[in-house]
Amino acid sequence: METRIAILRGKAEETGGALPEDTAYFLAENFQSSIRDLEGAFIRVSAFASLNGVPVTTDLAREALKDLIQGIGRPITIDQIQKVVCDYFTLKHSELVGARKHKSFAVPRQIAAYLAREMTDASYPEIGQNFGGRDHTTIIHAHRKIGELRRRDPRTDQTVAEIESRLRGV
């Protein structure tokens, strides 16, 4: 969270615009998937404020970004994440949480575990319990692996971003 807020402050200084602390927190809280999305949200809010001749506020940010953050107020659950990942990869729930290690099951499972960690407040052990009783270290490994793949592989990043969008109802 602190890193995202620092990035937003840097962007605000770069552009010479003001960014209230509560607005920075609002943006950082709602755009956690990637720095690109976070910066894009800031640019959109700044442009919206400039076009309307008003200062940047949290209410203005909420208005400017309403189509991107429709899910505000509705916490995303691990069950929802699993359902959307199953739909996306055409898997049964039992295949997603099962013991099979084939890549066609393991990668979607790792993506779902990654998203559960990123989009919920659940701990690694809680997530592991929701994925067939897996150990928390397995979930940590999945989170690190998908995070690294997102940085290196544009296709994986696009896949995860698309699933995040479906979860947020965009």
pLDDT tens figures, 123-138: 999 999 999 999 999 9
Could you tell me if 90 and 151 lie in one domain? yes
> Residue 71: inside a domain, yes or no?
no
> Residue 10: inside a domain, yes or no?
yes
Label residue 34 by pLDDT band (50, 70, 90).
confident
Could you tell me if 58 and 83 lie in one domain? no
Kindly state the tokens that stand for 121. Answer: 């407040």
Could you tell me if 83 and 164 lie in one domain? yes
Could you tell me if 54 and 9 lie in one domain? yes
pLDDT tens figures, 14-28: 888 789 999 998 898
Indicate if the pLDDT at residue 38 is higher than 60.
yes
Instruction: Specify the residue for token string 């270290």.
Output: 137
Label residue 70 by pLDDT band (50, 70, 90).
low
Indicate if the pLDDT at residue 29 is higher than 60.
yes
CB 60 within 8 A of CB 26: no
The domain of 152 spans 78-168
Question: Stretch 87-94: mean pLDDT, rounded?
Answer: 96
Could you tell me if 59 and 85 lie in one domain? no
Could you tell me if 54 and 107 lie in one domain? no
Helix (H) or strand (E) holding 114: helix 103-119
